[in-house]
Amino acid sequence: MIIGKNENRILKNYIPLFVFNKVKEKTFSGEAEGSALFTDISGFTAMTELLFEKGERGTEEISRQLLNIFDEPVNIVYRHKGYVTSFAGDAFTAVFPEDKGIRAYSAAVDIVNFFKEKGRRNTPFGELVFNCRCGVGMGGFRWNIFETSRDSLSYYFSGTSIDKALRQSEIIEKGKIGISEEKKYSPSLIEETKIAEIPYDILSKFIIPGILSLESIGELRHIASVFIEVKEKDEKIVEESVRIIYQEVRKMGGTFNKIDYGDKGLVSINYFGAPEAKERPEELAVRFSYRLLQKGINVSIGIDSGLCYAGRTGGYRRGEWTCLGNVVNTSSRIMNFAGKNEVFVSKRVKERANKIGEFKFFDKIKLKGKKKAEEINILSNLKGKRSVEFKYPMVGRAKELSLLYSFNELIFNGKNAGVSYIYGEAGIGKSRLVWEMLNFFVKKESQLLIIYLPCEETTKSPWNPLVDWLRDYFISKEKEPSKEGIEKIIKKFNNPKLTKRVSFLASIIGIEWVGSSSSMQSEKRRREGQIFALKELIKEISKEQKIIIFIDDLQRIDELTVEWLASLTRNVPDYTFSVICTSRYDEKGSKPRINLDSRVRAFELDLIPFEKEEEICTMVEYITEKKTIR
């Protein structure tokens, strides 16, 4: 369906029409003669700073202003027979096929004049002032459309014209046009680019359903923003790197927003916390980034967190879903300082992810657009948990702690302790109670192995959360997990059943090889083999040291790990390990459980809020360091 140029209906045209046409033609890569236009709009920072403070009304105003700011420039591009290829915060790029610069330059003139005439905008909260600068480049461009997974595609544009347009925009002032060769202005064409509404079945290959199904245009969200520069030039290596990024960010429940080709090369933009809200987006971003470094791809990563506008940007007939705000700009600029295979994070991320990450201070750096220097830290490792220190002593849980301790201390008598469940609402102290008990256990048994398995807010991908632990286990024995290294580790256990199934263990962390037992099985047999092999591994480790398997947030666990836990606890009375699960109640108030064999020992605790005045006062005194009136 072709959309009329005066029809003010917001279309979910979240990919360029150029890309849509090439997908229909099945022309997934190629080069074209033509020009490019890069338009950088100023005034966004002032707008977001003013309107973020106004809550929902401010968000609505941002959405309205974004449409007003971008709609006419987008239409100008179309009138000059161009295509908007991408939006990047307060900027956008367009290409003009078969153009020697005249159409791109003419579009730039019209856009600059638009902001001169209508750059000042009154809002209920005050006046906003917008301006722009445009860069025009000639020399052709290239497009690449490729698979990021079996059911998804991504794309990017690159080439001489885009490089030149970017450079020109950086060297000229606001309200001006940068162009390497002088061109004569040509009025917009009567035959503008025809605008079709892109069908859902095509859009859904590029955009996740969670974005396509959004009803609101925009909202305020607390996010962690992750910018990743791919440090490669070879096209095939770049695309394989992007596939790995896409698959890993989806496993961790994040949003792969887009890839953008700019002056720094190819950059992947990812968010945790939008469009789907996350409780601990910084921790998810740090875990994701650390996992990415283990994949052997050459990247530089920058992470920041904070409040942003998450929603649609662009005009009525062409737009994108993205996040806007200081947090996005800062993560991009932090990335620019990171070296190859380094993860740089802001102070905000370090403080919020300090429980799971180890960070080293790098420097305080004055970033573009910032009044004060920004503290930047390097992610050096993920923490392996054996014990946790707390600022304040635990208050009012002595009875529950005693019960939990008594149930699980059976492992010190050479027996399996079974499964413990601790239920309660968010923030009531479930994890704190478990760690309090584990701190006692570590003092009693220095060789105690704590397998901490936090269930992240993800898409419940198979083996969440065991993948990280298993990879770290192999890394602790060998510097880099490999077929030979894993076989060497498993061979030491002298367990023929486990040795025979070593490929199943390796497949859990993504290590495969041609002709392996795992690769030759059906999906069902493959999973059965993984479950059996992982159970045998835990049994072998428990012969050498006592184990506590701590499942944090059972309500988020994936089905395959639940199936493994049911198998793991069956017929193991003399293996010295126990499983402890914390969980919230589900939406119906029910308690998530593992489908245990009836012979497995099980224990259950419900944590309720404090009721005694004495306990509440004591807790307040610890936090405020002031005496209360009792």
Give 321-365 pLDDT, tens digit per residue.
Answer: 999 888 999 999 999 999 999 999 999 999 999 888 889 999 999
Contacts of 486 (CB under 8 A, 6+ apart): 474, 478, 502, 505, 506, 511
Q: What is the pLDDT of residue 473?
A: 85
Percentage with pLDDT > 90 across the chain: 54
Tell me: pLDDT of 192 over 70.
no
Q: What is the pLDDT of residue 191?
A: 56
Q: What is the pLDDT of residue 622?
A: 37
Compute the average pLDDT of residues 104-121.
Answer: 93
Tell me: pLDDT of 171 over 70.
yes
The CATH code for residues 1-207 is 3.30.70.1230
The CATH class for the domain spanning 218-383 reads alpha beta
Least confident of 203-217, 292-306, 458-472: 458-472
- The model's pLDDT over 148-165, given as tens digits with 9 standing for 90+, comes to 988 899 999 999 999 999
Q: What is the pLDDT of residue 111?
A: 95
Please give the CATH architecture assigned to the domain spanning 398-613. Answer: 3-Layer(aba) Sandwich (3.40)
Q: What is the pLDDT of residue 264?
A: 67
Tell me: pLDDT of 383 over 90.
no
Tell me: pLDDT of 460 over 70.
no
- Pick 408 or 464 by higher pLDDT: 408
Q: What is the pLDDT of residue 57?
A: 83
Sketch the domain layout of the chain as residue ranges.
Answer: 1-207, 218-383, 398-613
Name the pairing type of β-strands 547-552 and 449-454.
parallel
pLDDT grade, residue 551 (50/70/90)? Answer: very high
Q: What is the pLDDT of residue 106?
A: 93
Give the Å distances, CA to CA, from 285 to 221, 248, 353, 554.
Answer: 15, 11, 9, 21
The whole-model pTM stands at 0.70
- Pick 614 or 439 by higher pLDDT: 439
Tell me: pLDDT of 5 over 80.
no
Tell me: pLDDT of 20 over 90.
yes
Q: What is the pLDDT of residue 615?
A: 46
- Pick 546 or 468 by higher pLDDT: 546
Q: CB atoms < 10 A from the CB of 286, how many?
A: 30
For 22, the enclosing helix (H) or strand (E) is: helix 17-25
Percentage with pLDDT > 70 across the chain: 90
Tell me: pLDDT of 430 over 70.
yes
pLDDT grade, residue 469 (50/70/90)? Answer: confident
Do 1-207 and 218-383 come out as alike in CATH topology?
yes
Inter-axis angle of helices 44-52 and 326-337, to 10 degrees? 130
Q: CB atoms < 10 A from the CB of 75, how many?
A: 22
- The model's pLDDT over 243-284, given as tens digits with 9 standing for 90+, comes to 999 988 987 889 999 998 866 678 999 999 999 888 789 999
Residue carrying the six token digits 């005249």: 102
Q: What is the pLDDT of residue 3?
A: 36
Contacts of 490 (CB under 8 A, 6+ apart): 498, 499, 502, 505, 537
Q: What is the pLDDT of residue 55?
A: 78
Q: What is the pLDDT of residue 394?
A: 66
Average of per-residue pLDDT values in the chain? 86
Q: What is the pLDDT of residue 4?
A: 40
pLDDT grade, residue 65 (50/70/90)? Answer: confident
Q: What is the pLDDT of residue 550?
A: 96
What is the secondary structure of 30-68 as a DSSP string?
A: EEE-EEEEEEEEE-HHHHHHHHHTTHHHHHHHHHHHHHH
Q: What is the pLDDT of residue 629?
A: 47
* Range picked from 53-62, 133-142, 505-514 for highest mean pLDDT: 133-142
Distance CA 14, CA 199 (A): 11
Least confident of 182-191, 391-400, 559-568, 585-594: 182-191
Tell me: pLDDT of 63 over 70.
yes
Supply the DSSP symbol for 392.
S
